[in-house]
């Protein structure tokens, strides 16, 4: 489309070239107009050779030549002639240079699908006005399109971005003319493309998206999944592969009761276009993940787990540091926001620390930007996660089909964490007990009987605050990392104890009082100890709602058999539900049958 004369004015006194037509948008009356930079130049030159100006286009042969052409895509406005931001939004296909080079708009061309929605990150922020994306709300569903598209050439958008600003003194390029284009429409695949320094003329983005088959849940639904949280926002040591040696990550996400694919969808929702969420102190739409790993020394004061960083040539956001106190940290992991990464000897300051914390770069800065994932979480297969660099989840939330990469970029394969679920429970009414079964034993009534002697007590418990239960054999490896056990006392009762961890043949328990009823080891009969995989009143809200309870452990081999008991003797009593269940390589489940005891 050529210049529509009625939509433009030129003032020879000020040099102002202004667009006065309709703004963007379908249905504007009259329709807005757009022109290429060469069409602007030809229009100005068409007036510059006139003997006298007419109307409000005050250009003629007497005036300074308003524009010169370097190429069809590079136009310079001479003297005081200038466009403003509104005019720039109605020009495309090249660069406009003005005010003696103190102000420059450079052209952006995106090759991608016609309805891709593009955001631009400039100078450490997502530009708030994405006028180059348009939406037709008269269609159902709404139709998205880019300005000045050329479908025949595969071009979805053509527009200009100001990359040099005269308002600074002296006039300077905005963040070295660096731009990052992103597409993060929830429900579609995500993408990112960097322009490391725009050139005069057209600069290419290559952003396309399509439907993400593993992101089909409505955004309004995913917004309610607030149980998915980051337990450790910063440096986290996790033994994902369960080999006794933890690996380092920059997060410890808890996916709560949601599937691994639902976790993936939640991470996409947190970082979607228009996000108001915050990750590591950054808006979700700006968050990209780790771009650089930096070795540091000469640390002064204490760095927080994450926060804003500055140095001589740039800014960034601290995402992880391998110590926030003593010993002194030696490494940090950051997201670069503006400028260039620091180099050897440069001092980095954390402005979110009080007092300010500083550290010097100790030789090594490793660029990790090639490992940035789109979306930041990695990719989902629908049933497994292929995680991004450094992203960690709590170990019980991962299965053998998931893959994560630690902060050394080593792939870590989790063991097979399996889950057993008891459903059909009533919150605050049903007590559920899941204990071990040997696969054959029955009680006097012919019901499966708990394997009470699964383990035997090795050391006497008699104190008022016992913190360890030691058994005579190694604790089975397929035991939940934390949970409950029952210990037989001298009187024959089975005292419930909560353990926080186990190793070898020892359970570490929260303080338990055995002073009134000891559990004496080494006497006949030997004292039994068994694991209660579930041993609790069904939890959930509101009271009386139907809920489920679950437990997980690392699957080894074969199958683990259980006895499941559910009782409710309260206001709406049921007959005891008793059944068996099995945990295999794919987990297991059962649903309680609540038969009214009337």
> What confidence tens digit (pLDDT) does each residue in 166-203 have?
887 788 999 999 999 999 999 999 999 999 999 999 99
d(CA 93, CA 483): 64
pLDDT by residue (tens digit) across 73-118? 999 999 999 999 999 999 999 999 999 999 999 999 999 999 999 9
E strand or H helix at 580, and its extent?
strand 574-583
Q: How confident is the model at residue 551, as a pLDDT?
A: 95
d(CA 122, CA 180): 7
Q: Where are the domains of the chain?
A: 5-205, 219-284+373-415, 292-371, 419-591
d(CA 255, CA 266): 9
Q: How high is the mean pLDDT of the chain?
A: 95
Q: How confident is the model at residue 28, as a pLDDT?
A: 74
Q: How confident is the model at residue 57, as a pLDDT?
A: 53
d(CA 418, CA 397): 9
Residues 6+ apart with CB under 8 A from 521: 457, 458, 459, 460, 527
Band of pLDDT at residue 258, cut at 50, 70 and 90: very high
Taking the whole predicted model, whether its pTM rises above 0.85 is answered as: no
Q: How confident is the model at residue 138, as a pLDDT?
A: 85
- Assess contact for 403 and 412: CB atoms under 8 A: yes
d(CA 495, CA 328): 45
Using the predicted structure, report yes or no on whether residue 334 has a pLDDT greater than 70.
yes
- Assess contact for 236 and 377: CB atoms under 8 A: no
d(CA 529, CA 489): 10
Taking residues 468-487, report their average pLDDT. 96
Share of the chain above pLDDT 90, in %: 87
Taking residues 234-242, report their average pLDDT. 95
pLDDT by residue (tens digit) across 32-50? 999 999 999 999 998 876 5
pLDDT by residue (tens digit) across 407-461? 999 999 999 889 999 999 999 999 999 999 999 999 999 999 999 999 999 999 9
Band of pLDDT at residue 59, cut at 50, 70 and 90: low
Q: In this structure, is the dihedral angle defined by the CA atoms of residues 396, 401, 406 and 410, taken in order, positive or negative?
A: positive
pLDDT by residue (tens digit) across 122-152? 999 999 999 999 998 888 888 999 999 999 9
d(CA 205, CA 14): 35
The residue ranges of DSSP E strands in 347-437, in sequence order, are 347-350, 357-367, 378-380, 385-389, 403-405, 411-412, 417-426, 431-436
């Amino acid at each position: 489309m050529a210049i529509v004369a009625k939509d433009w004015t030129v003032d020879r006194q000020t040099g102002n070239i202004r667009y006065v037509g309709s703004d963007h948008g379908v249905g504007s009356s009259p329709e807005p107009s757009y022109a290429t930079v060469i069409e602007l130049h030809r229009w100005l030159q068409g007036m510059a050779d006139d003997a006298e100006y007419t109307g409000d286009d005050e250009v003629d042969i007497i005036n300074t030549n308003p524009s010169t052409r370097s190429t069809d895509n590079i136009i310079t406005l001479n003297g005081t002639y200038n466009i403003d931001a509104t005019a720039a939004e109605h020009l495309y296909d090249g660069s406009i240079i003005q005010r003696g080079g103190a102000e420059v708009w450079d052209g952006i061309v995106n090759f991608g699908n016609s309805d891709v929605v593009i955001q631009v990150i400039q100078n450490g922020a997502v530009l708030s006005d994405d006028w180059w994306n348009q939406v037709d709300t008269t269609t159902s569903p709404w139709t998205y399109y880019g300005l000045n598209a050329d479908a025949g050439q595969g071009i979805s958008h053509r527009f200009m971005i100001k990359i040099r600003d005269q308002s600074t003194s002296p006039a300077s390029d905005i963040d070295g003319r660096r731009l990052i284009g992103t597409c993060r429409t929830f429900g579609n695949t995500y993408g990112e493309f960097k322009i490391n320094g725009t050139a005069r003329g057209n600069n290419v983005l290559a952003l396309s998206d399509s439907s993400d088959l593993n992101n089909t849940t409505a955004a309004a639904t995913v917004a309610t999944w607030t149980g998915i949280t980051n337990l450790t926002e910063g440096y986290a040591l996790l033994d994902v592969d369960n080999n006794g040696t933890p690996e380092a990550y920059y997060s410890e996400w808890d996916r709560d009761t949601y599937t691994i694919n639902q976790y993936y969808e939640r991470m996409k929702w947190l970082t979607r276009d228009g996000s108001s969420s915050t990750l590591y102190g950054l808006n979700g739409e700006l968050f990209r993940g780790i771009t650089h790993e930096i070795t540091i020394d000469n640390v002064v004061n204490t760095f927080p787990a994450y926060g804003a960083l500055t140095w001589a040539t740039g800014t960034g956001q601290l995402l992880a540091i391998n110590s926030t106190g003593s010993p002194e940290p030696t490494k940090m992991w950051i997201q670069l926001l503006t400028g260039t990464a620091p180099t050897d000897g440069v001092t980095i300051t954390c402005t979110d620390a009080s007092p300010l914390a500083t550290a010097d770069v100790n030789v090594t800065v490793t660029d990790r930007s090639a490992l940035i994932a789109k979306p930041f979480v990695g990719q989902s297969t629908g049933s497994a996660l292929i995680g991004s660099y450094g992203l960690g989840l709590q170990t019980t939330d991962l299965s053998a089909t998931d893959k994560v990469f630690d902060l050394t970029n080593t792939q870590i394969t989790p063991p097979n964490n399996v889950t057993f679920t008891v459903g059909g429970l009533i919150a605050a009414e049903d007590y559920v007990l899941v204990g071990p079964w040997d696969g054959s034993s029955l009680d006097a009534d012919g019901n499966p009987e708990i394997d009470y002697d699964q383990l035997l007590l090795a050391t006497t418990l008699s104190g008022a605050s016992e913190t360890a239960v030691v058994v005579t054999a190694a604790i089975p490896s397929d035991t939940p990392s934390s949970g409950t056990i029952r210990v037989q006392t001298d009187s024959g009762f089975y005292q419930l104890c909560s353990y926080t961890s186990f190793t070898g043949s020892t359970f570490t328990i929260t303080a338990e009082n055995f002073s009134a009823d000891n559990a004496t080891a080494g006497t006949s009969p030997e004292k039994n100890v068994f694991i209660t995989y579930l041993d609790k009143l069904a939890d959930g809200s509101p009271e009386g709602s139907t809920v489920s309870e679950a437990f997980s452990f690392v699957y080894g081999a074969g199958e683990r058999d259980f006895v499941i008991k559910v009782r409710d003797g309260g206001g709406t009593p049921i007959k005891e539900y008793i059944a068996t269940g099995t945990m295999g390589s794919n987990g297991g489940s059962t649903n309680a049958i609540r038969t009214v005891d009337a």
